[in-house]
A and B are shown apart, each in its own frame.
Chain A
Amino acid sequence: MYRLKTSFFRHLSLFQRGSVISNIGRYQSISHTCDVEDALDEEHKAIQQTAYQFGQTEMAPFMYEWDRTEYFPKDTLRKAAQLGFAAIYCRDEYGGTGGTRLDASIIFEALSQGCVSTAAYLSIHNMCVWMIDAFASDANRAKWIPRLATMELFSSYCLTEPGSGSDAASLSTRAERKGDKYILNGSKAFISGGGESDIYLVMCRTGDQTPKGISCILVEKDTPGLSYGKKEEKVGWNCQPTRQVIMDDCEVPVENLIGKEGQGFEIAMRGLNGGRINIASCSLGAAQASIQKTGEYLKVRKQFGRPLEQFQHLQFKLAEMCTKLVASRLLVRKAALALDQNAKDTVPLCAMAKLFATDACFDVSIKMNYYSY
């Protein structure tokens, strides 16, 4: 009985893959099967189209050059900001766009089809601006959000330290209150935008060793005592600088506290919920672009007298990759909706979306790039 069942299921999966393939054939377009526009309403389709067009005209043609020369495309990012992409889910009082997490997911997925690395930095910037919008005083919101929304100012998120990664709450950067200043001492590692950003949201310890002893403090570049490590050499994502951010008796005005003392860890974690969805969305874009390029390649490239798309093994692989992409996209968009609606299972959903989508889409990109090498 057991043997019968397993053989049935083995054949069932082949049949299902076959049915995905025949559907691809029927629509004659892979992008229809893994359609980014699936189940989106008119407004979201319009958002997707504008972000996609922007990515294709302003990012895709330069992506290779940017990566090769390690160029941080600030002017392109400022153009994206003009479309409202720099403060997507911030309230519109001080220049935010007033959009939703789903809008953001659609935008980052579309931009990533142009350049993943740049889109990923933009998503980090969005996360930082939101943290200020959601938790800072009205004075701080009025002071910082307008210039962050236009990307006159660039921002970075500083949580990880050389000694605390997964155990983020054990961070050791200290902020001592002295009169009307905080004195910061410590270092943050692997900070995206480090050295280029104008403001740094630094999670630091103002109180005890528990998570409730952590605060979020805004440090402006050029503050005396603030310095950066060397630019990290990375395998990819080179158009986004990554550096250590070092604070040595760095004096910051007390007004730069975001939210309340002791609220820093909550701010950091809630920022990351959205950050996970954004990063997962960037992975979706990379996978979508990979599948599309591969689909075209399979039609054109011939070996053994036939175009590659006629080989069953490759058809199966393509069907699996499309399935992974669609599944990832569903999970990411569900997490985005949950966050917008403040649902009870928001946090695990965001984590699941990030976990599943980045793994699945990494797999897709590797396999698809293998075929179109």
Chain B
Amino acid sequence: MAIRILVGVKRAIDYAVKIQVKTDKTGVVTDGVKHSMNPFDEIAVEEAIRLKEKKIAQEIIAVSCGPAQCQETLRTALALGADRAIHVEVSGKDYEMLQPLAVSKLISAIAKKENVDLILLGKQAIDDDSNQTGQMVAGLLSWPQAVFASKVDIKDKQAEVVREIDGGLETIRVKLPAVITADLRLNQPRFANLPSIQKAKKKPMAKMSPKDLGVDIKPHLEYLSYEEPPKRQGGGRVSSVDELISKLKEKGLI
């Protein structure tokens, strides 16, 4: 009984871009800046594809919430091996204020509608580093969650997941349906190859709005300001361990 997987992919600023804060401190510059699929989401997509190759999964649905450009990200997911895509259109001011809770509600609504057995997400997005969506989706659906996964084994409607936690590694077993979020060492994502990029054009992509899913995406958090981290100061040389200790004490660090 092969399972059906919903994978969330977020279009985020590319990791290699040098971020610039807007002069009015209301956000970062996104206009004309290179965006790509969130790296942790790439790992989630790769895991879903591997499950399909092992015949554990029969269908992979990719979902993304955001403006029209998200369709490029979804096409990448299709080119990597997802079977179909869903684009939840959120644009303009609504998108600027789109927060993890709203995204979690959207993903939960789709998961229920599509009757999936597993939701695979990246553990966090590299733009806001929120690390909340996976956990909140599990909460909203009352499904078990296995986050920060570095290994996933699925058998008989159960997932055995090795998690990376502060103290080391923890192995848990959860019953499906469940939410799993991907951590860095889960796998090494593949490159999309040319034939599958060509095939991706023909795979279906559905469009819908938050209203179609009956979800209210109004924000609950207000962003007060965005600032650059303090510029790195020059260091100084010390000539002995004693001097190091006294300098650290001076700075109130110990």
Q: Is the interface of A mostly helix, strand, loop or mixed?
A: helix
CB of B248 within 8 Å of the partner chain: no
The reply to whether B194 and A54 contact each other, CB–CB distance below 8 Å, is no
Asked whether any CB of chain B lies closer than 8 Å to the CB of A165, the reply is no
Residues of A within 8 Å of B31, CB to CB, are 27
Residues of A within 8 A of B72 (CB): 42, 45-46
B198 & A29 in contact (Cβ 8 Å cutoff)? no
Residue ID in chain A nearest B37 by CB atoms = A49
In the assembly, what is the distance between CA of A28 and CA of B197, in Å? 31
Measured CB to CB, the closest approach of chain B to A146, in angstroms, equals: 14
- Bound-state CA distance A45–B194 (Å) is 12
Residues of A within 8 A of B124 (CB): none
Complex alpha-carbon distance, A347 and B31, angstroms: 39
Contact partners of B34 in chain A: CB under 8 A = 29, 31
* A355 part of interface (Cβ distance < 8 Å): no
Q: How many angstroms from the CA of A27 to the CA of B192 in the assembled complex?
A: 29
A84 at the interface (CB under 8 A from B): yes
Can you name the residue of chain A whose Cβ is closest to the Cβ of B189?
A53
Docked pose: A92 CA to B198 CA in angstroms:
12
Question: B residues 20-68 with Cβ under 8 Å of A?
Answer: 20, 29, 31-34, 36
Interface set, chain A 78-110, CB cutoff 8 A to B = 82-85, 88, 92, 97-99, 103, 107
**CB closest chain-B residue, reference A107:** B194
Question: Which chain A residue lies CB-closest to B197?
Answer: A46
Contacts of A88 in B (CB 8 A): 194
CB proximity of B199 to chain A, nearest CB, Å:
10
Known A-B contacts A31-B34, A49-B36; A43 and B198 likewise in contact (beta carbons under 8 Å): yes
For A97, list chain B residues within 8 Å (CB): 194-195, 198
Expressed in whole angstroms, the Cα–Cα distance for A84 and B192 within the complex equals 10
Q: Tell me which residues from 106 to 165 in chain B have a Cβ below 8 Å from any Cβ of chain A.
A: none
Residues of chain A contacted by B197 (CB below 8 angstroms): 43, 46-47, 50
> Counting CB contacts under 8 A, is B180 at the interface?
no
Are B29's CB and A28's CB within 8 A?
yes
Please, how many angstroms separate the alpha-carbon atoms of A43 and B33 in the complex?
20
Chain A residues with CB under 8 Å of B71's CB are 42
A residues within 8 A CB of B79? 46, 50
The residue of chain A having its C-beta at the shortest distance from the C-beta of B20 within the complex is: A28
Cα distance A54–B193 when bound, in Å?
Answer: 10
CA A29 – CA B14 in complex, angstroms? 13
A42-B71, A46-B79 given as contacts; is B194 within 8 A of A83 (CB)? Answer: yes
B195 touches A84 (CB 8 A): yes
| A28 partner residues in chain B, CB cutoff 8 A | 20, 29, 32
Q: Is B20 within 8 A of A50, CB to CB?
A: no
Q: Which of B32, B76, B191, B195 contacts A29 (CB 8 A)?
A: B32
- Interchain nearest-CB distance for A180 vs B (Å): 38
Residues of A309-353 whose CB lies within 8 A of B: none
**1/0 per position for B191-231, CB-CB distance to A under 8 A?**
11111011011000000000000000000000000000000
Name the residue on B nearest A33 (C-beta).
Answer: B32
In the complex, per-residue mask of A49-79: 1 if CB is within 8 Å of any chain B CB, else 0: 1100110000000000000000000000000
Q: Report the minimal beta-carbon distance from B17 to chain A, rounded to whole angstroms.
A: 8
Does A302 interact with chain B (Cβ within 8 Å)? no
- Residue numbers in B under 8 Å from A84 (CB-CB): 193-195
B192–A46 touching, CB < 8 Å: yes
CA of A154 to CA of B72 in the docked complex: distance in angstroms? Answer: 34
* Alpha-carbon distance A50/B76, docked complex (angstroms): 9
A32 at the interface (CB under 8 A from B): yes
Q: Mark A6-36, 1 if CB is under 8 A from B, else 0.
A: 0000000000000000000001110110000
| CB-contacts of B170-205 with A (<8 A) | 191-195, 197-198, 200-201
CB distance from B234 to the nearest CB of A (A): 15
Contact string against A for B residues 1-27, beta-carbon threshold 8 Å, 1 for contact and 0 otherwise: 000000000000000010010000000
Residues of B within 8 Å of A27, CB to CB, are 31-32
- Contact in complex: B194, A103 (CB < 8 Å): yes
A54 close to B191 (CB less than 8 A): yes
Alpha-carbon gap, A92 to B200, bound state (A)? 17
Q: Which of chain A's residues have a CB closer than 8 A to the CB of B84?
A: none
| Residues of B close to A103: CB separation below 8 A | 194
Instruction: Name which residue of chain B comes closest to A296, CB basis.
Output: B18
| Inter-chain contact B195/A46, CB cutoff 8 Å | no
Verify if B105 is at the interface (C-beta below 8 Å from A).
no
> Which B residues are CB-close (under 8 A) to A43?
75, 197-198, 200-201
With a cutoff of 8 Å between Cβ atoms, the chain B residues found around residue A99 in the complex are 194, 198
Residues of A within 8 A of B36 (CB): 49
What sequence of 0s and 1s flags, for each residue 249-291 of chain A, a beta carbon within 8 Å of any chain B beta carbon?
0000000000000000000000000000000000000000000
CA distance A49 to B77 in the complex (A): 13
Q: Is the CB of B76 within 8 A of A46?
A: yes
Which of A's residues lie within 8 Å of B, judged by CB? 27-29, 31-32, 42-43, 45-47, 49-50, 53-54, 82-85, 88, 92, 97-99, 103, 107
- Per CB-CB distance, the 10 closest pairs between chain A and chain B, nearest first, are A84-B194, A83-B193, A50-B192, A27-B32, A32-B32, A97-B194, A46-B197, A84-B193, A50-B191, A42-B75
10 A-B residue pairs with CB within 8 Å? A27-B31, A28-B32, A32-B33, A43-B198, A50-B191, A50-B194, A50-B197, A83-B193, A84-B193, A107-B194
8 more A-B residue pairs beyond the given contacts A27-B32, A46-B75, A92-B195, with a C-beta to C-beta distance below 8 A: A27-B31, A31-B34, A46-B197, A46-B200, A50-B192, A50-B197, A84-B193, A103-B194
